């Protein structure tokens, strides 16, 4: 814990000159998305940033720790962004829904790789880490469930939860249809479909 670099564990992205740690996480996310976390070797990740495999261990305790941090960050970003958007959207449930949809669409279009890893490789996490990720996911889902519940006052919570997962599935289809349309068009289409599905 004391030998570990103090910054960079935080959430901020460090866009301009990413530290080695960040480079590794980014490269790993890309590789994990393409082949699946278990199919990617430590050497592959190293090679992707111009370093040998074992060098990874100067920055992460283990390969699993890498994956864990990756998934935790994603979940945290989604939860934080989602709650913030809803809070800023006023009282109107439809306005809240629209901003949530726009947020999720942007995220999915910006990070198709993270989307892929997020729901494919949760299983290859330690039980503790997996539980923590699931807690964050659950809270994010609950944000959606709240909005959907206010939008459909006669529906029960279970229906709203199913609805939320269905909308996620719709929006998170981006990895399957990436690059087929210019981004603006893609975003508009997905948002329209998501809204239609959510309000049906």
Partner DNA sequence: CTCACGCGTGAACCACCGTTAACATCCTCG
Partner DNA sequence: CGAGGATGTTAACGGTGGTTCACGCGTGAG
Residues that bind DNA (CB under 7 A): 3, 5, 20, 38-43, 46, 50-55, 57-59, 62-64
Give the DSSP H or E segment for 191: helix 183-199
Asked if residues 105 and 194 have their Cβ atoms less than 8 Å apart, the reply is: yes
Nearer to DNA, 59 or 163 (CB): 59
From the list 120, 132, 200, the residue with the least C-alpha distance to 160 is 200
132 binds, among its own copies, DNA, none (CB under 5 to 8 A by kind): none
CA 109 – CA 104 distance, rounded (Å): 9
Decide which of its own copies, DNA, none touches 64; Cβ closer than 5 to 8 Å per partner kind.
DNA
User: Which of the listed partners (its own copies, DNA, none) does 5 bind, with a CB threshold of 5 to 8 Å by partner kind?
Assistant: DNA
**61 or 178, CB closer to its own copies?**
178
Residue number with CB closer to DNA (43 or 110): 43
Residue found under tokens 């935790």 = 72
CB of 57 to DNA, least distance (A): 5
d(CA 126, CA 65): 9
Q: Which is nearer to its own copies, 62 or 185 (CB)?
A: 185
Q: Provide the binding-site residues for its own copies, judged by CB under 8 A.
A: 34-36, 38-39, 119-121, 123-124, 158-159, 161-163, 165-173, 176-177, 180-181, 185-186, 189-190, 192-200
Cα–Cα distance between 46 and 152 in angstroms, integer?
49
The minimum distance between CB 7 and its own copies, in angstroms, equals 34
- DSSP state string for 74-103: HHHHHHHHHHHHHHHT-S-HHHHHHHHHHH
- Select 121 or 142, whichever has its Cβ closest to DNA: 121
Q: How far apart are CA 186 and CA 97, in angstroms?
A: 18
Q: By C-alpha distance, which of 16, 6, 17, 40 is closest to 116?
A: 40
Residue 62, binding choice from its own copies, DNA, none, Cβ under 5 to 8 Å by partner class: DNA
Q: Which does 30 bind (CB under 5 to 8 A by kind): DNA, its own copies, none?
A: none
């Amino acid at each position: 814990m004391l030998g570990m670099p103090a910054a960079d564990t935080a959430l901020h992205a460090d866009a301009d000159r990413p530290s080695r740690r960040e480079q590794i996480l980014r490269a790993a996310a890309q590789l994990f998305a393409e082949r699946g976390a278990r199919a990617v070797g430590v050497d592959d990740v190293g090679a992707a940033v111009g370093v040998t495999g074992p060098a990874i261990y100067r920055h992460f305790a283990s390969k699993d720790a890498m994956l864990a941090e990756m998934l935790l960050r994603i979940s945290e970003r989604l939860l934080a962004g989602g709650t913030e958007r809803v809070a800023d959207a006023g009282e109107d449930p439809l306005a809240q829904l629209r901003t949530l949809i726009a947020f999720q669409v942007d995220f999915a279009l910006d990070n198709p790789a993270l989307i892929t890893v997020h729901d494919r490789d949760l299983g290859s996490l330690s039980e503790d880490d997996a539980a923590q990720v699931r807690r964050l996911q659950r809270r994010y889902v609950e944000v959606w469930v709240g909005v959907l519940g206010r939008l459909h006052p006669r529906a029960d919570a279970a229906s709203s939860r199913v609805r939320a997962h269905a909308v996620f599935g719709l929006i998170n289809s981006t990895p399957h249809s990436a690059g087929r349309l210019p981004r603006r068009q893609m975003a508009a289409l997905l948002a329209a479909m998501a809204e239609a599905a959510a309000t049906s």
